Amino acid sequence: MKAFTIIVLGFLISMPQIYAQKGVEDGSKYGHGEDSIRCLKNLSLYTELAKQELYDDAYPYWEIAFNECPLSTRRLYTDGVDILTHKIKNAEDESKKEAFFQELMKVYDQRMKYFGNHSRYGVPYIKATKAIDILEYKKSDPAYKKQAYQLLSDAVANGGAKYQPAAFALYITTSIAMWKDEEISGEEVVNNYIDVSEKINKLIADPKMAKYKKMYTKLSGQLEDVFAGSGVASCETLDNIYSPQVEEHKEDLEWLKRVNRLLTNALCDDMDLLFKVSEYLYRIEPSSSAAFGLARRYLKSGESANAIKYYEEAISLEENKEKKADYYYQLGLVHLAGKNYVSARANALKAIENNPNWGKPYILIGKAYAASANSVGSNDFEHKTAYWAAVDKFVKAKSVDPEAVAEANELINAYSNHFPKTDEIFFQGLEEGAAYTVGGWIGERTSVRSAR
């Protein structure tokens, strides 16, 4: 009986402690007893104030809820980010700003601990979001930059960037920054870019992600521009990375495709590496990029007929209009070099058809007209009229493409000197500004002008 009394007494003494435990102590959502009431009260108070964006007023109530009932709701953490972002922005001095930043980091860490198993917004997603805020506030700090890089690496590898596309972009820009600081190798940056590109392409192709397709397509193009302009994707760097690996991967289709794409995007058109990769790739799976690589190989070795053959195949296999235009243009240059002016113009026109706002094909046509001037007409005056048609194309080039202006102006100045002189125009019974049709294969309507 005495023993029983002691047990009951002990139980009664311990009851207030049991029912006063906080959620953080016993793993419950709100804790027990008075502490659960305190938790619910602070959750309610901060939530109403946060809805009104009264973050300074919400902060003390939120802080109590955050520390005492961390399992209560996932919103505790998303609201915490908003509240602490406001506090950091409006902090009176650097020490307070730093304190709020450290508390923000704790928000992400605690969210991973208690809500890290969420199917969509779990640990990988939280790591991505944490890294974004680290780079927002600490991008100049090398230690924090390394931490953000590792978080982004983990997030991207485990699907955390799927619903946080900014993480893809920051992963690449941070990789480039780390490479410039000599913290990681160029090969690591290249591999990171390839990995991100492949993941984005899968998201673009995923029917379940259709509503994000436009955004991811735009992001893909932006990242390609950033990577291409970084310097890490130079032909020399790519050559150093991949040339030693070619023979090992000569039957690895995905590897060959990846390296071929990197080389063509970096405009490494005359590298032995591209030729080897293209040859092995073409054996396994003929493609536009592989055919292009072979075309460049034969062009370099002076085998124009084979070069033309593979350019034509690259064109037939290519679906992207800008790339198709580039292949047509390059084929036009081959024909121009071979003095096949009709074919040069035909391919330049196809390039324009696929990329109307590109000036280079117009310049190609103008050069073909100028190069063939001595074969146009039967006398010196008629020969010179070819330069009118040529200059018309240079003028057109700069009107459609700002990047063509400098070259077009240089060519206009050069070839305008070859126009007929005023007295030659007079003896032909013509007047300046009058309409005129250039004869021969050119057959273009132009206007009469005298040499400058």
**Would 382 be classed as within a structural domain?**
no
Please provide the average confidence, as pLDDT, over all residues in the chain. 90
Q: CB-side exposure of 173: number of CA atoms within 13 Å?
A: 14
**Would 68 be classed as within a structural domain?**
yes
**Would 162 be classed as within a structural domain?**
no
**Would 52 be classed as within a structural domain?**
yes
% of the chain with per-residue pLDDT over 90: 69
pLDDT at 4 over 60: no
Q: Which residue has the higher pLDDT, 88 or 204?
A: 88
- Domain count along the chain: 1
Gap between the terminal Cα atoms of the chain? 125
**Would 325 be classed as within a structural domain?**
no
**Would 56 be classed as within a structural domain?**
yes
Least confidently predicted of 14-28, 64-78, 203-217: 14-28
What pLDDT score does 262 carry? 81
Instruction: Tell me the average pLDDT across 145-164.
Output: 93
Structural contact between residues 385 and 395, judged by C-beta atoms closer than 8 angstroms: no
What pLDDT score does 31 carry? 64
Quickly count: other Cβ atoms within 10 Å of residue 182's Cβ.
7
**Would 21 be classed as within a structural domain?**
yes
In angstroms, rounded to a whole number, what is the distance separating the alpha carbons of residues 322 and 236? 25
What pLDDT score does 3 carry? 43
| Ramachandran region, residue 86 (left: φ > 0; alpha: ψ -120 to 50; beta: rest) | alpha
Helices (H), 71-212: 75-89, 94-115, 123-138, 142-157, 166-180, 186-205
CA distances from 327 to 275, 315, 324, 349, 371 (A): 16, 6, 5, 12, 22
pLDDT digits (tens, 9 = 90+) for 337-360: 999 999 999 999 999 999 999 999
pTM of the model: 0.61
Q: Which residue has the higher pLDDT, 413 or 198?
A: 413
| Residue of 50, 43, 101 whose CA lies nearest to 68 | 43
pLDDT digits (tens, 9 = 90+) for 255-279: 888 888 888 777 787 888 988 999 9
Q: How confident is the model at residue 17 (pLDDT cuts 50, 70, 90)?
A: very low
pLDDT digits (tens, 9 = 90+) for 409-436: 999 999 999 999 999 999 999 999 999 9
What pLDDT score does 32 carry? 63
% of the chain with per-residue pLDDT over 70: 93
Q: How confident is the model at residue 380 (pLDDT cuts 50, 70, 90)?
A: very high
What pLDDT score does 100 carry? 97
pLDDT at 1 over 80: no
Instruction: Tell me the average pLDDT across 133-138.
Output: 96
Instruction: Tell me the average pLDDT across 284-303.
Output: 90
User: CB neighbours of 132 closer than 8 A, spacing ≥ 6?
Assistant: 164, 166, 167, 170
What pLDDT score does 19 carry? 42
Domain ranges, residue 2: 1-115
Strand, coil or helix: what is 437? strand
**Would 28 be classed as within a structural domain?**
yes
pLDDT at 245 over 70: yes
